[in-house]
C-alpha cells in the first residue's frame, strides 16, 4: 500500500513547478531544490508530460511549467500519471478476479477504492502550497498505525 518514490518525487516536482510558476523551470533546478537525482526525475517528468500535467520548452533556458493552475490539479491525477494506477487491486476493475466470480472481497475492495479515489480527487496541488501560509504546525503527527 505504499507509494513508490515515483509518486513522492513527482509530487515534489509538481510542487516546485507550482511555486516557481513565472517561467520554465529546468529539471536540474527542481532536482537540486528537492534533493532528487535529476536523471531519475527526468523520467518522472516525462510521465507527467504524457499526462499533460506539465508542458515543456526545449533548448537553453527551457524547462517545464504546469499546464493548469494548482487548485485544478488533483493529487489523484498526479499520482495516477506517475504510478500508472492508484487502484487497491485489479479485482475492482476486472470482472474475472481469479477466484471464481462472486468473490467476497469485492464489495470491500470497492468501498476502499471509492474512499481513496474520493480523497485523492478532493486534494489538489494548492493544498501543498497552503502549508506555507498555514504557519502553525499541525498538532498530532504520531498516529499512523
Q: Which residues contribute to the site for DNA (CB under 7 A)?
A: 4-6, 9, 24-28, 37, 39-40, 42-43, 45-46, 49, 56-64
What are the phi and psi torsion angles at 64 (to 5°)? -120, 155
Nearer to a second copy, 39 or 145 (CB): 145
Taking CB under 8 A as the binding criterion, the range among 23-31, 38-46, 48-56, 101-109 that sits at the site for a second copy is 101-109
Which of the listed partners (a second copy, DNA, none) does 60 bind, with a CB threshold of 5 to 8 Å by partner kind?
Answer: DNA
As given in the structure block, the three cell numbers for residue 47 are 510521465
Q: Report the phi/psi class of residue 140: left, alpha or beta, with left for phi > 0 and alpha for psi in -120 to 50.
A: beta
Residue 79 neighbours by CB under 8 Å, 6+ apart? 3, 7, 10, 11, 86, 120
Ramachandran region of residue 141, left (φ > 0), alpha (ψ -120 to 50) or beta?
alpha
Residues that bind a second copy (CB under 8 A): 1-3, 7-8, 11-12, 15, 34-35, 75-76, 79-80, 83, 85-93, 95, 98-100, 102-108, 110-113, 115-120, 123, 127-132, 134, 138, 141-142, 144-145
Amino acid at each position: 500500500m505504499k507509494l513508490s518514490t515515483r509518486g513522492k518525487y513527482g509530487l515534489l516536482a509538481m510542487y516546485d513547478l507550482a511555486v516557481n510558476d513565472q517561467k520554465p523551470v529546468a529539471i536540474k533546478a527542481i532536482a537540486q531544490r528537492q534533493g532528487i537525482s535529476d536523471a531519475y526525475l527526468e523520467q518522472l517528468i516525462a510521465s507527467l508530460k504524457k499526462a499533460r500535467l506539465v508542458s515543456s520548452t526545449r533548448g537553453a533556458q527551457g524547462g517545464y511549467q504546469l499546464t493548469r493552475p494548482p487548485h485544478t490539479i488533483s493529487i489523484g491525477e498526479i499520482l495516477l500519471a506517475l504510478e500508472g494506477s492508484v487502484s487497491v487491486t485489479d479485482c475492482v476493475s476486472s470482472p474475472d478476479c481469479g477466484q471464481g466470480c462472486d468473490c467476497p472481497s469485492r464489495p470491500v475492495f470497492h468501498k476502499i477504492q471509492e474512499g481513496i479515489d474520493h480523497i485523492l480527487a478532493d486534494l489538489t496541488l494548492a493544498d501543498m502550497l497552503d502549508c506555507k501560509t498555514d504557519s502553525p504546525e499541525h498538532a498530532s503527527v504520531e498516529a499512523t498505525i
